[in-house]
Each structure stands twice: as structure tokens, then as C-alpha cells.
Amino acid sequence: MTVEYLSTIDGMTPIVLCEPEREINGVYIGDLLSWVMGNATSGDAWITIMSNINILAVASLSDVSCIILAEGVTLEEDIVNTAKEKGINIISSELSTFETAVLLSHFL
């Protein structure tokens, strides 16, 4: 499934789609940044509730396909702008982390 396709599913809202055609190969869930960098795989969709600026560097360095902000978490405007500059896909999910993961599991 592409990041763009995911963003069109009910409950998902695209925040930044710089690389819409990027394929989602797996999922990693976590809010502790070192755990994400230690365990996420390139191409994973990363589900988190963290919303500070540092998630952008972590997403970029880990080479995840997108950040999914679960539980309806939102981002400040300057972080959205930085994500656009850095080319990082971000989707907001109004579902819980669990429900978001279950939804993704149907497409993997």
C-alpha cells in the first residue's frame, strides 16, 4: 500500500505528502525515539503520539515511509512546514494507536 492510499482511508488525514508513492512495507509503533531508531525498518509506517520537532529527524534518519500521528494528535504549524522542507510524509489518524495498527495490518 502506498502512503497516499493510506491517507484516503476513513479516519486518516494527510498532513504532509511529499512522497505519496512511497510504499509502506511494515509498521513500527513507539514513542521512545531511540527505540524507534533501533528497531524500525526502512519503509515502515511509524505510529506515534509524539509531536515534537525531533520526530522529523528520527523519521528521516530511520528512513520510515511515513509518520502516523495516532489518537488525533496534531502538529504545530512550524513543524508541518519543516516536514515539508525535509520531505517527510505525515498522516494524522483519529483512531487509537491499536485501531490504527489493526487497520494497517489488513493491507500488509
d(Cα 100, Cα 95) in Å, to the nearest integer?
6
Grid cell listed for 94: 483519529
Contact of 54 with 79, CB cutoff 8 Å = no
Cα gap 32→37, rounded to integer Å: 9
Tell which one of 1, 17, 50, 103 touches other proteins (CB under 8 A).
50
Q: Which of 8, 23, 35, 81 binds other proteins (CB under 8 A)?
A: 35
8, 23, 54, 74: residue in contact with other proteins (rule CB under 8 A): 54
Could you list the residues that contact other proteins (CB under 8 A)? Answer: 31-35, 37-38, 42, 50, 52-55, 57-58, 60-63, 86
